[in-house]
Amino acid sequence: MLTKTTKWLVGGAAAAMVSAMAAGRLLGTPTTPDLRYLPRWLTLGQSALLSAAAWGLQRVFRNTPVADVATHLAVGMTLGTVGDVFMAQQNVPLGMAAFGAGHIAYVRGLLRLSNQQRLPRPLAMGVAWGAWSVIGAAGWLGLVRLGPQGSSTLGWLALPYSLLLASTAGVATGLSVQEPRYWPLAAGAVIFLTSDVLIAMRLFNPSLFAAIPKSIRGDLVWLTYAPAQMLLVGGSLLAAWVQQRQPV
């Protein structure tokens, strides 16, 4: 299924992304007022590359039991790229809508992965999902609702969005509790949630966001978001592939 060429391409793409981020941080000139070192064209290009890689994995797994799962994850990543474009244009509502739709695709795909891998333990999944939903709601309350712009329409829209992201983390954690190979997937979902916590701070609680050191403040969202997406898509599919190769 995964040829040596495919493995080299996946590894090479990951190495290229890491190298590009490192070069951008070292050689970039910070912009004002957000003090970003990574240029916008680089981050959007990397987002597009992540989508292309997700569809590449979908093609690799197209004739396997996880083909439908791979499609859902590729759709989720593509919607994430659309969200990145909207956010780059300062269109936060449409960006949230695209990311939210992407997380619906992620949750659907991960639930199908759970059934396909015969890991549907309702208690483990329910507890993980419930715990992360509480965390997501508490985070929204502390960072958004009680912030200076918490009563805005966008602030209230952030609540269902937060619960969607928490749902992805919950399902991913439920999978990883049952099968340790999925811990990279769970890590990706949690890091993604962390990335959006930073965005919430920047939008709704700027004084708290300003407490982050200036040297990393502007790029911290992307430096968490990109690895999170890689772990979400690649971690789940590669773990499923390893599990299928285990002797019964």
Assess whether pLDDT exceeds 80 at residue 28: no
Residues 58 and 53: their CA atoms lie apart, in Å, by 9
Residue 14's alpha-carbon distances to 2, 40, 87, 125, in angstroms, are 16, 19, 23, 30
Of 61-70, 117-126, 233-242, the one with minimum mean pLDDT is 233-242
- Per the domain annotation, does 193 fall within a domain? yes
Please tell me which residue, 239 or 220, carries the higher pLDDT value: 220
pLDDT at 102: 94
Domain enclosing residue 26, as ranges? 4-238
- Per the domain annotation, does 11 fall within a domain? yes
Average pLDDT over residues 196-225: 86
Going by C-alpha positions, the residue among 8, 2, 97, 87 that lies closest to residue 47 is 87
Residue 224 near residue 198, CB atoms below 8 Å: yes
Average pLDDT over residues 8-16: 65
pLDDT at 121: 76
The count of structural domains within the chain is 1
pLDDT interval class at 217 (50, 70, 90): confident
- Per the domain annotation, does 245 fall within a domain? no
- Per the domain annotation, does 216 fall within a domain? yes
- Per the domain annotation, does 62 fall within a domain? yes
pLDDT at 42: 81
Cβ partners under 8 Å of residue 198, min gap 6 = 209, 212, 220, 221, 224
Give φ, ψ of 6 to 5 degrees. Answer: -60, -45
Assess whether pLDDT exceeds 80 at residue 2: no
Element (H, E) at 212: none
Q: 3-state SS string over 95-149?
A: HHHHHHHHHHHHHHHHHHHHHHCCCCCHHHHHHHHHHHHHHHHHHHHHHHHCCCC
- Per the domain annotation, does 72 fall within a domain? yes
- Per the domain annotation, does 156 fall within a domain? yes
- Per the domain annotation, does 244 fall within a domain? no
